[in-house]
Chain A
Amino acid sequence: RKEVEQDPGPFNVPEGATVAFNCTYSNSASQSFFWYRQDCRKEPKLLMSVYSSGNEDGRFTAQLNRASQYISLLIRDSKLSDSATYLCVVNRAGGYNKLIFGAGTRLAVHP
């Protein structure tokens, strides 16, 4: 089982739609969670951290469910510019903490 698993997609949605991605992680001791965004042929960029209580940044909402070991990202009112690959990132707890990157979920927003 992979440490971080994501549905690769693609998710094809019209502008204005609401779309949600889930990501599951295997290490129950993980403490840090993030969502990154990666545009085609560009470097990954931090979208938002994910806090235990959930957090919101404009049209983006991130949630953490420790019991079921998954995090989610909700995008409301999708824009064409939201088209990208979204990477779920979790720290590998124990020993040297390192971040583990999921393979990503591709989102395509169309007019």
Chain B
Amino acid sequence: NAGVTQTPKFQVLKTGQSMTLQCAQDMNHNSMYWYRQDPGMGLRLIYYSASEGTTDKGEVPNGYNVSRLNKREFSLRLESAAPSQTSVYFCASSEATIYEQYFGPGTRLTVT
């Protein structure tokens, strides 16, 4: 039982490049989330998926897109990376949006 897994763990991109961050959970959770965390700041919600087939914007959605591929997988895409997107990205899942969330180990992204 791996919980929440994320790939890659580290990534360096040049400005303008695109990439997709992958997230998968094996807890049969309905809801999944993408957060970013910058130094000295709290978690900021980028997008979430309350249930399979739905996605909604969080606090900071600009520059990102998401896909809820199936119940297990939720990906985050940066279409044209910018230095302001340098951050640590965490994926999380929960049984429902009101319940406690479980986090993946994070992806450390640097955009130069």
A residues neighboring B (CB under 8 Å): 31-32, 34, 41-46, 49, 87, 89, 91, 96-99, 101-104
Residues of B contacting A103 in the complex (Cβ-Cβ under 8 angstroms): 41-42
CB of A97 within 8 A of CB of B43, answer: no
CB of B106 within 8 A of CB of A101, answer: no
Name B105's closest neighbour in chain A (CB-CB): A43
A105 to chain B, nearest CB (A): 11
Q: Give Cα distance in the complex from A102 to B37, angstroms.
A: 12
CB of A32 within 8 A of CB of B103, answer: no
CB of B99 within 8 A of CB of A32, answer: yes
Q: Give Cα distance in the complex from A45 to B102, angstroms.
A: 7
A29 to chain B, nearest CB (A): 12
Question: Within 8 Å of chain A (Cβ to Cβ): is B34?
Answer: no
B residues neighboring A (CB under 8 Å): 35, 41-43, 45, 48, 50, 56, 58, 88, 90, 94, 96-106
Q: Give Cα distance in the complex from A104 to B42, angstroms.
A: 7
CB of B100 within 8 A of CB of A49, answer: yes
Q: Give Cα distance in the complex from A46 to B94, angstroms.
A: 12
CB of B103 within 8 A of CB of A44, answer: yes
Q: Which of B56, B101, B102 contacts A96 (CB 8 A)?
A: B56
Name B54's closest neighbour in chain A (CB-CB): A96
CB of A44 within 8 A of CB of B43, answer: yes
CB of A97 within 8 A of CB of B97, answer: yes
B42 to chain A, nearest CB (A): 4
Q: List 12 A-B contacts (CB under 8 A).
A: A31-B98, A43-B103, A44-B43, A46-B101, A87-B42, A87-B43, A89-B100, A91-B98, A98-B97, A99-B97, A101-B35, A101-B43
Q: Give Cα distance in the complex from A43 to B88, angstroms.
A: 10
CB of B100 within 8 A of CB of A34, answer: yes
CB of A102 within 8 A of CB of B42, answer: yes
Q: Which of B43, B88, B98 contacts A32 (CB 8 A)?
A: B98
CB of A98 within 8 A of CB of B48, answer: yes
B36 to chain A, nearest CB (A): 12
B60 to chain A, nearest CB (A): 13
